[in-house]
Amino acid sequence: MERRKDAGDRLPYCSLCSRPSVIRCRDPDRHLCAEHFCQDLTGRVLKTVTTSAMITEGDRIAVAFSGGKDSTALLLVLQEILPLWQDVSLVAITIDEGIAGYRNETLQCAERLVRELGMEHRIVPFSRLFHTDLDAILQGREERACSICGILRRRALSSAAEEAGTTKIATGHNLDDEAQAVLMNVFRGDLVRFVRDSSSPSGRCFIPRIKPLREISEKEIAVYLMVRGYYSRLPECPYTRYALRAEVRASLSALEFRHPGTMRNLVTGKQRLATLLAEVLRGREIATCRECGEPCSGTICQTCDLLKKIFR
């Protein structure tokens, strides 16, 4: 159907009503106004959550909440859709790694939002678990900052979620994160991580992880926060400059801009490959880490190996 166009106003209109659009979405290609975009995004998250049975009645969900964009959007959407289940509650968990000049501001942002939403909030400092902060751990190891931080944060989150008596851990991974992870695992030659579903419970932690935003792009999350009035500019982590992810992110964003659908295709392709490989490997014994029980290619996984080296 031909949509109304105003010659004096070059802003496209929403494909569903006569209001100005705030975003052009692909697949299907359409322009959406603020209201229809928020409805669309919430509906897609709900579809992801229900098709993968991510939430069940009686769940107490730990939301990994850094105060950044993804986890803010996650908290807002989850709070909106939660009344569809009976007796489901949320507890926001913020891990304070101890990164000078960065974490304090995001912590303040996180505390403000949780107070506004009237939600239970737990802040867990690295020092409580690891007896020191990330800045101290990374001295002389800055090039490996993100992999060390990621491993320790995952442990800290699992332990905080267990302590809070939760049944699920929800993380704010979006479509861009998922696509970046596929490429990074390829670049590292890490086949175990490439085929493994990172949302599965792992090792000592038996709390399943869910990723309700995994179909939503980073751009959509930014627009969602802007139209809902929750977008804020936060400082960037000082260790970002060492991250392989930063380079992968820039390359993938450029590819997605020129070839829309690249990120979704990467993630879908990886899922297909993982399913095929699971069939090939069915019945064969997979090696697991002797320390934590994670699948791995040797006798000890990368995480436990790293923890031993850092804290020996």
Question: Counting contacts by CB under 6 A, is residue 13 touching ligand SF4?
Answer: no
Q: Locate tokens 């929800």: which residue?
A: 170
User: What CA–CA distance (Å, rounded) separates 307 from 122?
Assistant: 24
- What are phi and psi for residue 215, nearest 5 degrees? -100, 0
Q: State which residue, 34 or 152, has the beta carbon closest to ligand SF4.
A: 152
239 forms part of the interface with ligand SF4 (CB under 6 A): yes
Number of residues that bind ligand SF4 (CB under 6 A): 8
CA distances to 57, 64, 268 from 80, in Å: 16, 17, 28
Q: Examine residue 235 and tell whether it contacts ligand SF4 (CB under 6 A).
A: no
Measured CA angle at 245 (ends 133, 223), to 5 deg:
100
Least distance CB 106 / ligand SF4 (angstroms): 9
Report, in Å, the least distance between residue 245 CB and ligand SF4.
8
Instruction: Compute the least distance from the CB of residue 72 to ligand SF4, in Å.
Output: 16
Identify the bridge partners of residue 168 per DSSP, sorted by sequence position: 61
DSSP E strands in 190-257: the ranges are: 209-210
> At closest approach, how far in Å is the CB of 12 from ligand SF4?
36
- Distance (Å, rounded) from C-alpha 6 to C-alpha 8? 5
Listed residue (111, 51, 129, 102) closest to 75, CA to CA: 111
Answer for which of 14, 22, 54, 146 binds ligand SF4 (CB under 6 A) is 146
Question: Is residue 145 a contact residue for ligand SF4 (CB under 6 A)?
Answer: yes
**Region from 88-96, 146-154, 161-169, 185-193 binding ligand SF4, contact rule CB under 6 A:** 146-154
* Residue ranges in contact with ligand SF4 by CB under 6 A: 145-146, 149-150, 237, 239-240, 243
